[in-house]
A and B are shown apart, each in its own frame.
Chain A
Amino acid sequence: MKKQSNIAPDNIVELRGKAIAKFKKYNDEMVLPKTKEELLRFVQELEIHQIELEIINEELQESRAEVENILEQYTDLYDFAPVGYFTISHDGKILKANLGASSMLGIERSKLLNRRLEQFLSWDSITAFNELLQRAIREKIKVSCEVCYIKVLNNTITSTMSKESSNLNMPCAHIEMLSSENAQEIRIAMIDITERKRNEVELNKYKDHLEEMIEERTLQLTEKDEILECELCEHKKTEAALLISNKELESFSYSVSHDLRAPIRAIDGFTRKLFEGYNSILDDEGKRLLDVVLKNTKNMGMLIDDLLNLSRLGRKKMEPSEINMEELVNEVIIELNDFEEDKKPEITVQHLPAVNGDRALIRHVIFNLLLNSIKFTAHREKPIIEIGYLTKDHQNIYYIKDNGVGFNMKYAHKLFEVFQRLHSLKDFEGTGVGLAIVQRIIHRHGGTVWAEAEVGKGATFYFSLHNNGEIYEDSSI
């Protein structure tokens, strides 16, 4: 009985009053103990009761502490939730609000209480909100909608927005509502969706814009496509025209060269007749003049014949076969040896691999190159010519090397042009078509030809066939 109790003195009196009242309810009168033993037993029982009560009390305290703890946690959760929680009455008054709600609206909690929530919504949203509230109360299920609300700065409540204000820049929120069973309390969660809405608008803008951009782009590309197709068409036409033109050109140059021969022959023949027939009455100057005419017609004749050759070899149909290069080279050497009687050059032929090509045309190439070598080494005491091959970058390259007069590499790019000569006519005869013919033939075989030289030391001519792996067939023929 001496135990402490947590109850305040006033409450103790109240408690006793309650207890007595309750006691009297179940017992008519208060019965006093008769004997000492009864009294002691009574007291003992009371003491036990007291202890029981104290135990219960302790447990209650513990529960209460736990409850308080839980309440604290709950309050924290409630208050600091990142959404706005409201508890409102059935007529829309704010009974409770969390800190989230307070900061969302920009208003101190105390100033929110007992105000209608709709005060803080936009004009357009009020109707929807009220309808939602009615529905929540009626159906007792969770309902939701979107509203626009007023965010307050400086803690002053502005009046409700008028109808005319636009919602566009107002903050908006998603509202979830659930009514209690007795519809006395309706709990609301209000989630700010302003950012989301804004992003949606932006996204839609971009989406529309994107579609526009895509359309534009597609149009652009279609246009470009058409233009390119046009160009391609044009190119193809040009190519076809060029091929025809090329063929016509070769045809033309052939027939022109061909038709020029007769008149040249006439000039040559009749001048010669004049020269021979009237030799006795001509003075030295007269003879010299006629000599000049004859020399020039001879030159002209050679040019024409060379041009004809060039044209003919360019037009001749290619007949590819496997060519034994060693055999071919030796054949040409024999032919040229018959040619030149005075100074026979020393010609060495290395082992040469076979190659695919038109034998007659390649023969021409070797003939021309060898002829050149012989021509340009003729003045040497010991003319030396070497024919061999080397491999570079997986290509077979044939070469003809001589120790002749050589040429200046500065003009190497001119070597293969028609009528280009790097030496004067009085030093070495020739029309300058030989190498052009060589190049034409090599190119028809899909190959390359080039030369290296040093003035006074000699020259080496290189050629390879089928750089692209195939024989290049002239499609014009």
Chain B
Amino acid sequence: MKTQASEILLVEDNPYDAELTLNALKINNLDSKVYWVENGEQALEFLYAGGEYSGRDINIKPKLILLDLKLPKEDGMEVLEKIKSDEKMKTIPIVILSSSREVSDIIKSYKLGVNSFVVKPVDSEEFLKSVSELGLYWLVLNQPPE
């Protein structure tokens, strides 16, 4: 896996949702830039070049983190908080992709500094549409901080 050149970090525990996400990003040819981890612990290890990722260059930061909220071990909100409170990492755009539409979750994540909150549609066609547009926006249209 080309961990170095990964521009999108996908943090998703459900493999089917992960596959659908990749399919969606493939529409705009962004799938090759994705690195997928299954939980929060791995996500942080990846970012901070810890554990099995100790060979990674910590200065190469992903252009986008797609973050699911419901994760085993450390949940999405904790990961969000950790990243956004770290001076070196807080500039990475994070988009929460979640099944939850709970207002409390939305407000809390914005207060923690999330860049966008998207609710995963239950209809797969809509899901594909939303994620592909999302990817296009953040990787092509949006200007990254670095």
A: residues with CB less than 8 A from B are 258-259, 261-266, 268-270, 272-273, 298, 301-302, 304-305, 308, 312, 316
Contacts and interface: CB of A to CB of B under 8 A. Distances in A.
B97 to A, nearest CB: 12
A265 B124 contact: yes
A316 B103 CA distance: 9
Interface string B1-45: 000000000000010110110010000000000000000000000
B51 to A, nearest CB: 27
A328 B73 CA distance: 45
B101 A308 contact: yes
B16 A270 contact: yes
B17 A265 contact: yes
Most-contacted residue by chain B among A259, A269, A272, A302 (CB, 10 A): A269
Given A258-B99, A269-B16, A301 B127 contact: no
A259 B98 CA distance: 11
Nearest to B99: A261
Interface in B97-146: 99-101, 103, 120-125, 127-128
A265 B20 contact: yes
B124 A269 contact: yes
Interface of B: 14, 16-17, 19-20, 23, 99-101, 103, 120-125, 127-128
Contact of A272 (B99, B103, B121, B124): B124
A293 to B, nearest CB: 12
23 contacts: A258-B99, A261-B99, A261-B120, A261-B122, A262-B14, A262-B16, A262-B99, A262-B120, A263-B16, A265-B17, A265-B121, A265-B123, A268-B122, A268-B123, A269-B16, A269-B19, A269-B20, A272-B124, A272-B125, A273-B23, A298-B123, A301-B122, A312-B101
A474 B13 CA distance: 36
A112 B23 CA distance: 137
B137 to A, nearest CB: 21
Contacts of A264: 122
Contacts of A305: 122
A301 B123 contact: yes
Contacts of A302: 122
Contacts of A266: 14, 16-17, 20
Contacts of B123: 265, 268, 298, 301
Contacts of B120: 261-262, 265
